Amino acid sequence: MYGAEVWQIPAREINKMLSTEMDVLRRSARKSRMERIKNEHIKEIMRVKGKPDIIDIIEQKRLQWYGYLKRMPEERIPKLITDWIPRERRKRGHPR
């Protein structure tokens, strides 16, 4: 997952990612939704039960990036960008 450290993921997208991950596991196990097999059983078949899902991996990468960012020297650009505070708010509407 290249670049997952800085992704902003809305709740709707999290559900889509988890559904897609489960779909991939079902297809790999060659089981259809029509067979009405529970997700836990599919995970047991694929030997991934108890392992972190894709959202847990992204959260772990985010925490690693945050720790790395906090240890960076002050003059590094990523550190400057995260600590930057805009001077004033933008005006409403379309710029002229």
Cα 62 from Cα 3, distance rounded (Å): 10
Give the predicted TM-score (pTM) of the model: 0.73
Q: Any idea what the Cα angle at residue 45 is, between residues 44 and 51, rounded to 5°? A: 40
Same domain? 41 vs 60: no
- The mean pLDDT value for 60-89 works out to 90
Of 91, 31, 89, residue with least CA distance to 40: 31
32 pLDDT above the threshold of 80: yes
Establish if 77 belongs to a structural domain.
Answer: yes
Tell whether 38 is covered by a domain.
yes
**Residue 10 Cα to chain centre, angstroms:** 9
* Mean pLDDT score of the chain: 89
Separation CA 14–CA 83 (nearest Å): 27
Rounded Cα gap, residues 69 and 82, in angstroms: 9
Asked if residue 58 and residue 46 are part of one domain, the reply reads no
Examine residue 25 and state whether it is found in any structural domain, yes or no.
Answer: yes
Share of the chain above pLDDT 90, in %: 56
Query: Residue 20 is part of which domain span?
Result: 9-51
